[in-house]
Structure 1
Amino acid sequence: MLRDEIITVFGGSGFVGRHVVRALAKAGYRVRVATRRPHLAQDLRVSGVVGQIQLVQANVRVPSSVERAVEGASGVVNLVGVLNENGRQTFSRLHALGAKTIAAATAQAGIPAMVQMSAIGADADSASRYARSKAEGEAQVTAALPSATILRPSIIFGKGDSFFNRFASMAQFLPALPLFGGGKSRFQPVYAGDVAHAVLAALSSDTARGQTYELGGPGVYTFKELMRFILEATDRRRVLVPLPFALATPMALLFEMAAILPFVEPVVTRDQLIQLRQDNVVSDGAKTLADLGLTGETIEAIVPDYLIPYRRHGQFHERAV
């Protein structure tokens, strides 16, 4: 049975957004997906029953479109974000100014429930532009709407993610995989489905209002351990080459220059290398998935299934021991 409440989701057509839209639809909410290009997200309609998913055109750089998108909603979710800057899609415009516009429209509409997707490592004093923009976005949202809930995930995994899929694809063609900074950076990968349920829990709980949660899965891994995991899951043997940051930085510049070409994604950017100098794990004393009543899935339970296309001899070939 459908609820009367409408939840507006900005960034609902992205990787995490699709999980969030499905979770909200399954919970019975009417979901309004605000996206720049609704015609490219028509497949989201099948995430719910007929009429449950509404697609509207909105651009976070255009306040009037944001105001229309939140009109009549009982909750708002902001998932807008990019990992790499491209043209007008900059960290500052999307993570900071976009978040400010959405929070201001939400407050003006009298909607108390808002979830702002940030990231572990958000820091106003960071040398990383990405981390600074995420921190500024948090500040802008809480200033406009103190009742908003902030979610800070570690790297998010799931079918179609940009981490495990990227390195599994690289392992298909390259004889070696790079270990940036020696591969010592630690991560706490969190499943996209668990992030979606965290959004749902935050919207549904009065105690989550005004709180910040750091979302990490049950396991902590070094970058090197994650590369080994990918190779094992895809039944490939590749050399893991430690690459000091001093050498990786000029390489990242070349990747960024190549990314000027259409459909080319940089393997790593200089800004991402700055982020890799810090661990990306849940902080001591932080509120977590458990505080939202959730238990996270492991990478071992989820990732191997969607890395099947990258296996050396296909799905049914007996894997090497």
Structure 2
Amino acid sequence: MASNLDTTVTVFGGSGFLGRNVVRALCKRDYRVRVAVRRPELAGHLQPLGRVGQIHAVQANVRYPASVEAAMRDSQIAINLVGILAEGGGQSFDAVQMKGAETIAKAAAASGARMVHVSAIGADENSTSSYFRAKAEGEKAVQAALPSATIMRPSLLFGPEDEFTNRFAALARISPVLPLVGGGVNTVQPAYVADVADAVADAVDGKAKAGATYELGGPEVLTMREVMQIILKITQRDRMLAPLPFGLAKLQSYVLQFAPGPFTLTPDQVAMLRVDNVVSDAAKVAGLTFAGLGITPDSMEAVAPQYLWRFRASGQFQKKSA
């Protein structure tokens, strides 16, 4: 039986938050990993995740097909993790998440490779969010170019270095009031990044259905208010949660999109918060979920204390309140 060391997996966007975890999962399964990123000289932090020579970073930009084709040379599997949360310069949602996904799928098809494409729960051609519309168009482009591609749609990702729980914990450290856009009643199903990485690696192993779309949500459906309450409990911060109507949030976002760090809020992010971000009943019935892959996902309350302790007033040494 051939070893996974004979299989090269090209991971586009492998140096990002999810990418680091996917690379780690693939290395544990003995694959040869080619990380395709815009700045390979900045991907050195990935090397300790595998054995010497197991991980190789190459230059590729999804806006330039020739670089993508070069990154796929002699590779048996492509994984697309490339995505952006806010537009800037040449990095538009359409250029990266629609055209970029299509470019990778065409390169994979041309080289006879399999493909795992990571999209997002909420992807919808009719969404008021440009992010979600581009994600949906990206899925269509991938399916047209490579019908056998497996699509993974995770809900909001959490884990060390995320831009979700860490962002709100940082905001709670410096602000006495935390805004709840739309009242915080919209629901999410936070997924632990390592669980999503395992699902992607399972697809590489061939355990996922070809041409299927999986929806990956954690074990709990939470309102955004409940998410904030969990973060405040873990960081032991007493903060007011103030409802912020969507109309007012959208007006403020035109200014806050230029704000630094945790204060950033774009009009598109406001639009994203108008819809629930949970696994559909159809995906559950079809077995296209974590459960369908035999994965039992971890909850935010079980994992987040392992890294959010640094936002407590006295760090990990702070005594728990009675």
Task: Report the TM-score, using the length of structure 1 for normalisation.
Answer: 0.96
1:226-265 aligned within 5 A: 226-258=227-259
Whole-Å separation in 2 of the counterparts to 1:239 and 1:65: 49
Read off the aligned partner of 2:276 and give its amino acid letter.
D
Give 1:258 deviation, angstroms: 3.6
Q: What is the rounded CA distance, in whole Å, between the counterparts of 1:146 and 1:315 in structure 2?
A: 49
Residue segments in structure 2 that go unaligned for 5+ positions in a row: none
Paired AA for residue 40 in structure 2:
P
The residue number in structure 1 matching 2:282 is: 285
| Residues 299-308 or 131-140, more deviating | 299-308
Match of 1:246, as an amino acid?
G
Instruction: Specify the alignment match of 2:210 in structure 1.
Output: 209
What is the CA–CA distance in structure 1 between the aligned matches of 2:259 and 2:137, rounded to whole Å?
Answer: 29
Amino acid aligned to 1:268: L
How is 1:1-321 mapped onto 2 (pairs within 5 angstroms)?
A: 3-111=5-113, 113-205=114-206, 207-258=208-259, 267-286=264-283, 287-321=288-322
Q: Deviations over 1:152-197 (max 9, x none)?
A: 0100001000010000000011011001100101000001001101
Indicate if the aligned counterparts of 2:253 and 2:267 stay in contact, CA closer than 8 A: yes
Q: How far does the alpha carbon of each residue in 1:39-75 deviate from its partner, in whole angstroms, 9 at most, with x for none?
A: 1111211111110000100111111110010111111
What's the offset of the Cα at 1:2? 5.6
Cα separation, partners in 2 of 1:266 and 1:62, compared to 1, 3 Å: farther
Supply the RMSD in Å over aligned alpha carbons.
1.2
Q: Which amino acid aligns with 2:108?
A: T
- Cα offset for 1:30? 0.3
SS of corresponding position for 2:84: coil
The total of aligned residue pairs comes to 316
Matched position secondary structure for 1:285: helix
- CA distance in structure 2 between the partners assigned to 1:258 and 1:240 by the alignment: 20
Superposition deviation, residue 266 in structure 1: 5.2
- For the residues of structure 2 that align with 1:127 and 1:176, how far apart are their CA atoms? 28
Q: SS state of the match for residue 314, structure 2?
A: coil
Deviation at 1:273, TM superposition (A): 1.0
Letter in 2 for 1:233: I
Q: Deviations over 1:214-254 (max 9, x none)?
A: 00000111000011111100011000001110111111111
Q: Secondary structure at the match of 1:3?
A: helix
